[in-house]
Amino acid sequence: MSPRSCLRSLRLLVFAVFSAAASNWLYLAKLSSVGSISEEETCEKLKGLIQRQVQMCKRNLEVMDSVRRGAQLAIEECQYQFRNRRWNCSTLDSLPVFGKVVTQGTREAAFVYAISSAGVAFAVTRACSSGELEKCGCDRTVHGVSPQGFQWSGCSDNIAYGVAFSQSFVDVRERSKGASSSRALMNLHNNEAGRKVGHALKEKFDGATEVEPRRVGSSRALVPRNAQFKPHTDEDLVYLEPSPDFCEQDMRSGVLGTRGRTCNKTSKAIDGCELLCCGRGFHTALVELAERCSCKFHWCCFVKCRQCHRLVELHTCR
Ligand SMILES: *[C@@H]1O[C@H](CO)[C@@H](O)[C@H](O)[C@H]1NC(C)=O
Ligand SMILES: *[C@@H]1O[C@H](CO)[C@@H](O)[C@H](O)[C@H]1NC(C)=O
């Protein structure tokens, strides 16, 4: 290998490792409680944090349980939103929690970045509003731009604090010096979009814009790959690479495949057996569902029901 191409692949490798680890803090979701993060020492031992996040952890011990909760909320919401899709947001017990699916610049990665930074902003805001956090809004090292667009730092209202904390904590890796790769730009954009649009994110997933980096003056920007598309807004999700089809199991990438997934025989959409099973066909089984039925209200005060059994057809992908 020539020194030049060697240098180039080294640089590519550095960027790859760099963005591969950018969402590793989501591993916090796997902890049962960060309530045990009562000492600065614990921050050093947390898996998945980069050094700057460890420092933020030490300075903001009381906020860390909200970060953990935010990561959990994000994963729960992702699994709910994607329950009927080929990739169902399943997590692994290793790093990165979503496998290679989100280390590439795909639509799925865009969604995960957006929802997780929204999750942290939400969980921190909620903890502030409920009075759980003592120094809420008063960490002067946390600063950013509020949803209303004003520069914010120091003590302020709870939403601004939640958003700013998420910006500082979640974006820290991409904001570090030298993080000007296309992936860093993509991640930052989607993090910010998540904090802006919240629950409308799933729609944004379907309408995400495929972008490519372009030099604009002395810096780089992401522009739509298809020039006919209108430029994306701050609230749209953007992605750089097409997604795999997620049909077959590929444990090296953390893709489980769709074998055994429940599908809808009559639907023509992605939850339908045809698309979800990738044309492999499906099994049909009759399963008995137990339900409460003929419920009666008794004076006073309870409800008595019978158990009814109903046979339903269950279709699962081959
Ligand atoms: C996702 O799909 C896999 C099979 O592909 C299944 O084992 C898993 O339970 C599903 N996860 C969720 C959260 O639905
Ligand atoms: C299956 O899909 C059909 C057509 O889209 C829909 O009407 C029906 O409610 C779906 N069934 C379930 C169990 O989701």
Contact yes or no for 195/121 (Cβ under 8 A): yes
Residues 229-234 have a mean pLDDT of 88
Tell me the CA–centroid distance for residue 313 and ligand 2, in Å: 13
Across 119-123, 145-149, 260-264, least confident range: 145-149
pLDDT digits (tens, 9 = 90+) for 9-24: 333 333 333 444 677 8
Least confident of 38-42, 80-84, 277-281: 38-42
Could you tell me which of 50, 246, 69 has the C-alpha nearest to residue 162? 69
- CA end-to-end span of the chain: 45
At 164-174, the pLDDT tens digits run: 888 888 888 77
Ligand 2 binding pocket includes 264 (Cβ within 6 Å) = yes
Report the DSSP beta bridge partners of residue 282: 317
Which residue lies with its CA nearest to atom 4 of ligand 2? Answer: 267
Atom of ligand 1 nearest to the CA of 88: 1
Mean pLDDT across 90-112: 89
* For ligand 1, atom 6: residue with the closest CA: 261
* Tens-place pLDDT, residues 50-60: 888 999 999 88
Locate the ligand 1 atom nearest the alpha carbon of residue 260 and give its number.
4
| Among the bound ligands, the one closest to the CA of 274 | 2
Q: Which ligand is nearest to the CA of 251?
A: 1
Angle at 77 between CA 33 and CA 246, to 5 degrees: 110
- Distance (Å, rounded) from C-alpha 283 to C-alpha 257? 16
Ligand 2 center to 266 CA (angstroms) = 7
- The answer to whether 105 and 239 have CB atoms below 8 angstroms apart is yes
- CA of 89, closest atom in ligand 1: 13
| Mean pLDDT, rounded, for 212-222 | 88
| Count of CB atoms situated within 10 Å of the CB of 269 | 11
Q: Identify the pLDDT of residue 150.
A: 45
pLDDT (average), residues 204-209? 86
Atom of ligand 1 nearest to the CA of 259: 5
Read off the pLDDT band of 259 (50, 70, 90). Answer: very high
Smallest CA separation from ligand 1 atom 8, residue: 90
Q: How far apart are CA 278 and CA 308, in angstroms?
A: 35
Which of 149, 148, 152 minimizes the C-alpha distance to 139? 152
Q: 15-19, 58-62, 126-130, 236-240 — which one is most confidently predicted on average?
A: 236-240
Q: What is the pLDDT of residue 167?
A: 86
CA of 272 to the centre of ligand 1 (A): 16
Lowest mean pLDDT among 40-44, 53-57, 238-242, 263-267: 40-44
Q: pTM, whole model, 2 decimals?
A: 0.80
Query: Per mean pLDDT, which range of 16-30, 60-74, 194-208 is the poorest?
Result: 16-30
- Least confident interval from 39-53, 81-95, 152-166, 194-208: 152-166
Specify the pLDDT at position 198.
57
Question: Mean pLDDT across the chain, nearest whole number?
Answer: 81
192: nearest Cα among 211, 175, 213:
175
Nearest CA to ligand 2 atom 12: 264
- The token pair that represents 143 in the structure block: 């600063």
For residue 6, pLDDT over 90 is answered with no
CA separation (Å) from 203 to 46, 208, 235, 237, 263? 34, 9, 11, 10, 22
